[in-house]
């Protein structure tokens, strides 16, 4: 039995269908994203038997590479991850048979994205491979965002996105999708002038993580939770995506983006939408995405005073992270020594609908912090204290449901129990569910299920145009307010818990962030 057939048998055993045959064209084939995330994800799909025997890859980039040198660069990178901890792709080893299966299907083409001849040559290469019968095509834009619109226009002008004879044409667009509301609307208008919305897959690898997908299962598959998922029982919600790493080698990009643009309209708002959405009528892609979009449309828009009051920005100074000395942001490579770009953002958001009226959603994300954690904390209301007044108990902690996205994916529920003895003494205890205790773990980047869904035509986990624009509509007033007031940076040490103003944001409401240590 061939490797592909062995994998297909394994996939069927786990109820996965093999994805339709397709040619995947990766623009930016020599870039970091292709090496670190996309290629390892494809390798994992090979291991799972989820790619068809006729699957192939054409890499396109400006670098002067050959088929063989491109394959070698990808091979060197994926093998370098073996044994590493804390990287997106953690592997104990690389299966030589699976890697060779993928490498044999890789072809490289040198090309300038601005030159129409590149797309003529690509069209000839695709036609030569597909023959007269045609074939499915997945175009992946692993490039800087300034190329998104022009690349898609070039694809359209060359006739490479036209669907016919049952063959599909799909385009995967990475983040950032715009830099503000105006640019996001312009980009949507530009690409929708070439493609139908059904052909566009705006990707966010956070949604490829199993825990994010399981939030919907937790809520809508368990009456015990969904019946409590409202303003009558929940006091507030915290959404955190905090990192110990700094900007690394991304200073050139990051200094023009910042934490707000880089993380909030996509990653954090995806988590917000999944946590706050209404039950969809089905798990059909449009039904799910419609409910997620409604959440962002219901988020209260700030005026200038509200934006300055209910948002906090920070920039890291020198310090220690994990016992190692860490540079200040302004000392990082490719960063302006006088930069006022934020590396931390916290905000208080209100959702103006019946389910969530009066319930604050606190969000935060930052770099060079004391711990790495992505989680959603559902804090329930505190119980009436009348019953416990005569017991000597001073207060009862609120119940918390914690949905951990990374690391150590899982769910925990904290509740109060009585300490054994003659007196009523409460103690917070926990029930813990960890995915690795129940399900076999496989190294993954978060891109595996997303690439698979692209090929299968399932857009559930991808952003729709209205979601993108609704997210930027929430963020824009913060950007406008910040532009009118110069920050005092740096304002938190590397390895700390962030700026003190972020703690004050909750403290003035009588609340506090969940401890991340």
Band the pLDDT of 12: cuts 50, 70, 90: very low
Question: Could you give the 3-state DSSP secondary structure of residue 412?
Answer: strand
pLDDT score recorded for residue 419? 82
Q: How many Cβ atoms sit within 10 Å of the Cβ of residue 3?
A: 17
Domains and CATH numbers, the chain: 3-204 (3.40.50.720), 209-382+408-413+431-442+464-507 (3.30.360.10)
Report the half-sphere exposure of 490 (CA within 13 A, side-chain side).
Answer: 19
Q: 331-340, long-range: CB within 8 Å, 24+ apart, which pairs?
A: 332/246, 332/247, 332/251, 333/249, 333/251, 334/249, 334/251, 334/252, 334/255, 335/247, 335/251, 335/254, 335/255, 336/255, 339/255, 339/315, 339/489, 340/315, 340/486, 340/487, 340/489
Band the pLDDT of 442: cuts 50, 70, 90: low
* Mean pLDDT in residue range 175-187: 92
Percent of the chain with pLDDT over 90: 67
Under DSSP, the state recorded for 387 is: G
Q: How far apart are CA 254 and CA 483, in angstroms?
A: 17
- As given in the structure block, the two tokens for residue 251 are 């200073």
Average pLDDT, the chain: 89
* Residue 213 in this model has a pLDDT that exceeds 90: no
In tens, the pLDDT along 260-277 reads 999 999 899 999 999 999
Under DSSP, the state recorded for 36 is: I
Q: How far apart are CA 20 and CA 35, in angstroms?
A: 24
As beta bridge partners, residue 82 has 91
Band the pLDDT of 389: cuts 50, 70, 90: low
pLDDT score recorded for residue 7? 45
* Mean pLDDT in residue range 392-403: 82
CA 7 to chain centre: 28
pLDDT score recorded for residue 9? 41
pLDDT score recorded for residue 394? 66
List, as one string, the DSSP characters of 212-266.
HHHHHHHHHT-HHHHTT-STTTEEEEEEEEE-S---TT-HHHHHHHHHHHHHIII
Q: How far apart are CA 126 and CA 71, in angstroms?
A: 19
- Which H or E run includes 40? helix 39-47
In tens, the pLDDT along 294-341 reads 999 999 999 999 999 999 999 999 999 988 999 999 999 999 999 999
Under DSSP, the state recorded for 336 is: -
In tens, the pLDDT along 106-150 reads 999 999 999 999 999 999 999 888 877 779 999 999 998 889 999
- Catalytic residue numbers read 267
Q: How far apart are CA 479 and CA 428, in angstroms?
A: 40
- As given in the structure block, the two tokens for residue 91 are 């592997």
Burial of 450 (C-beta count, 10 Å sphere; 0-12/13-18/19+):
buried
Enumerate residues 6+ apart whose C-beta is below 8 A from 356: 230, 231, 276, 298, 350
- As given in the structure block, the two tokens for residue 14 are 């786990």
Enumerate residues 6+ apart whose C-beta is below 8 A from 391: 423, 424, 425
* Residue 8 in this model has a pLDDT that exceeds 50: no
What are the φ and ψ backbone dihedral angles of 415, each rounded to 5 degrees? -145, 170
List, as one string, the DSSP characters of 46-78.
HHTT-S-TT-EEEEEESS---HHHHHHHHHHHH
In tens, the pLDDT along 184-200 reads 999 999 999 999 999 99
DSSP E strand stretches across 381-507: 400-406, 410-418, 426-434, 492-493
- As given in the structure block, the two tokens for residue 20 are 């339709």
* Residue 390 in this model has a pLDDT that exceeds 70: no
Question: Could you give the 3-state DSSP secondary structure of residue 413?
Answer: strand
């Amino acid at each position: 039995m061939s490797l592909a057939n062995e994998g297909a048998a394994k996939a069927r055993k786990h109820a996965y269908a093999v994805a339709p045959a397709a040619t995947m064209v990766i623009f930016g084939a020599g870039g970091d994203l292709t090496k670190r995330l996309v290629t390892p994800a494809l390798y994992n799909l090979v291991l799972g038997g989820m790619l068809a025997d006729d699957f192939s890859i054409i890499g396109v980039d400006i670098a002067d590479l050959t088929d063989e040198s491109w394959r070698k660069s990808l091979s060197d990178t994926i093998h370098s991850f073996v044994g590493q901890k804390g990287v997106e792709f953690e592997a104990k080893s690389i299966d030589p048979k699976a890697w060779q299966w993928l490498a044999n299907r890789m072809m490289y083409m040198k090309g300038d994205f601005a030159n129409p001849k590149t797309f003529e040559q690509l069209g000839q290469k695709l036609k030569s491979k597909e023959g007269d019968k045609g074939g499915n095509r997945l175009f992946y834009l692993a490039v800087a965002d300034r190329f998104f619109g022009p690349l898609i226009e070039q694809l359209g002008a060359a006739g490479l996105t036209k669907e016919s004879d049952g063959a599909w044409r799909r385009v995967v667009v990475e983040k950032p999708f715009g830099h503000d509301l105006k640019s996001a609307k312009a980009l949507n208008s530009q690409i929708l002038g070439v493609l139908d919305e059904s052909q566009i897959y705006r990707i966010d690898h956070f949604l490829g993580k199993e825990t994010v997908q399981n939030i919907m299962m937790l809520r809508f598959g368990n009456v015990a939770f969904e019946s409590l998922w409202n303003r009558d029982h929940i006091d507030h919600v915290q959404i955190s995506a905090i990192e110990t790493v700094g900007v690394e080698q991304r200073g050139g990009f990051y200094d023009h983006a910042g934490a707000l643009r880089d993380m909030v309209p996509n990653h954090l708002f995806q988590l917000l939408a999944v946590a706050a959405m209404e039950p969809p009528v089905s798990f059909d892609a449009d039904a799910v995405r419609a409910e997620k979009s409604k959440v962002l449309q219901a988020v209260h828009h700030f005026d200038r005073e509200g934006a300055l009051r209910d948002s906090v920005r920070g920039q890291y100074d020198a310090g220690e992270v994990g016992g190692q000395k860490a540079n200040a942001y302004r000392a990082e490579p490719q960063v302006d020594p006088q930069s006022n770009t934020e590396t931390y953002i916290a905000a208080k958001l209100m959702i103006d609908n019946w389910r969530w009226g009066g319930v604050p959603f606190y969000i935060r994300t930052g770099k060079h912090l004391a711990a790495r954690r992505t989680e959603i904390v559902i804090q329930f209301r505190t119980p009436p204290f009348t019953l416990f007044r005569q017991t000597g108990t001073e207060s009862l902690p609120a119940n918390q449901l914690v949905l951990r996205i990374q690391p150590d994916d899982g769910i925990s529920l904290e509740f109060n129990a009585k300490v054994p003895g003659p007196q009523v003494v409460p103690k917070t205890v926990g029930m813990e569910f960890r995915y690795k205790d129940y399900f076999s773990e496989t190294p993954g980047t978060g891109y595996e299920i997303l690439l698979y869904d692209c090929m299968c035509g399932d857009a559930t986990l991808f952003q729709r145009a209205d979601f993108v624009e609704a997210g930027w509509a929430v963020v824009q007033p913060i950007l406008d307010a910040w532009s009118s007031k110069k920050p005092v940076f740096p304002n938190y040490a590397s390895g700390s818990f962030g700026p003190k103003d972020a703690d004050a944001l909750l403290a003035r409401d009588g609340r506090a962030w969940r401890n991340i240590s």
